[in-house]
Structure 1
Amino acid sequence: MLKVKKSGFFTSIQDNGRYGFRHLGVPVSGAMDKASAKLANAMLENEEDTAVLEITMSGPILEFTKDTWVAITGAHFSPQLNGVDIDNHSTFRVVAGDQLTFGGHVDGLRAYIAVKGGFKTAKVLNSRSFYLPLTEKDHLLAGMEVPYDETLSFEPKIINVIPEEIERILTLRSSPAPEFDLLNDEQKELLFNQPFTIAKENNRMAYQLQELVGEHQNAMLTSATLPGTVQLTPGGKLIILMRDGQTTGGYPRILQLSEESINYLAQRAYGDKVQFKLEA
């Protein structure tokens, strides 16, 4: 078992997501930064869809009760094993009784912890990803225990990787969404020629942006949405749906982010700057 001594700000179990149920109103969920989660699993030679811990904003205190190997990727929260600094984006061995803690924030918003073989929480609709009300909790709490299998023999081929540098202003690559042509020339000019600031209202469901791109009165029927869909409210505010975002919406869908851009955006926080780039 992995004992959660302290939960951190928001730590949850995530895998690659819950597919095939959007027609029932069930979002995909899964790791916000899927590239980092997949990298953690790859470093341990796990299957791509193996369940990992997703840490948001601040790290937990975790105690291992079985020997295993661990990989940490994504945001840098100054990890320590038994009080000794360890590298981010690295693999390392733990034995029963070891404690993994986190210190000061260096960069990024979400980190991923994988163990050899993955975390063995219950599957709901073919996924271990936390999502209320499908799962009992949406995040781990102090005192909870997370099951995993003991690994005594393993020789990792990858010990460290070098993470990409974080751009000062993130470019969000996107393609036109179904209602893109409802935008007038002035709105398009604002959309692609100014940086936007991430608002306080950002979470696993959606990111809101502070700057406006002009009011509109385009009424529409509720239509299908996806993670990465950019919606425009009547007041001119932009909302970017994320992994736990609703499956339908009534606001015009003006852009659709690339998968890579969703991953990058998941590492950004309140006050960070982003800009849109249209790609055919």
Structure 2
Amino acid sequence: MTDTTIFAALRPRLFATAYRMLGTRADAEDVVQDAWLRWHASARAGLQSPEAWLVTITTRLAIDRLRARLAEREAYVGWWLPEPIVEPDEQTPESSAELASEVSMALLWVLERLSPEERAAFLMRQVFEHDYADIAALLGKSEAACRQMVHRAQQRVQQHRPRFEVPREQHRALLGRFMAAAQLGDRAAMKAMLADDVQLVADGGGKVQAYLRVLHGAGRVAGSFWSLENKFPQRVLYRPARVNGEPGLLRYVDGQLESAQAFRIEQGRIAAVFVVRNPDKLTGVPQTIC
């Protein structure tokens, strides 16, 4: 295989690695491009595993970029959510390995609370199944320190991860009922589908109006959907979509995209809602309703 062919075959995994670390398409694509330049310029005689070499380089580049982005994110207006990867929600199996490899918005939200090194260590161990010797070499830390980082990260992630996997069809069916209730402005029906301690996180980035605090409680979250329908009666429409590989919704007002929404489901009810409104993060989403 040629160098170009090897890289092209591994590119989807490299992009998934960078996206998990950085949460935006543009940053992930930049990191993959930088990895390609280093791959193209490197001496690879005797290289045993091109995949291991490229994943390592990509992760290092992503850590460096994430560190450089920390100041920007600290100054970000409101809550920072990842840029959603959105595809039509069709009644078919996943269309590609790339989509199946993406992580949920809920997990990326938790990973944002970790340091760059913790995030890298957790992903390399839990997602890509690297051994601790490899992680230690990558991060320049001892194996014991890496084990501790992974343990702390896993504890934080576990607090926000559903205890039971929700079948995709149940996830889709619940969102279908919620979508219908939201379009009717049926506050009681929406509230019945929300967990008592549900939370809603919105990201406007200072570009558009969005909640600057996390909303808590079924009444307040149902009220946020009701208030938009009340403000724009019969002008709010929802469309199902896959958001980061899971069933989600796109919301349109007067035919124009207003937000992309991801949901965490637990025990048959919605436990968290993630609403991305920042237009800079929605450029890859259909802007007008079909």
- Is TM more than 0.5 here? no
- Give TM-score, length-normalised by structure 2: 0.24
Point out the structure with the larger helix share.
2
Task: Tell me the TM-score normalized by structure 1.
Answer: 0.25
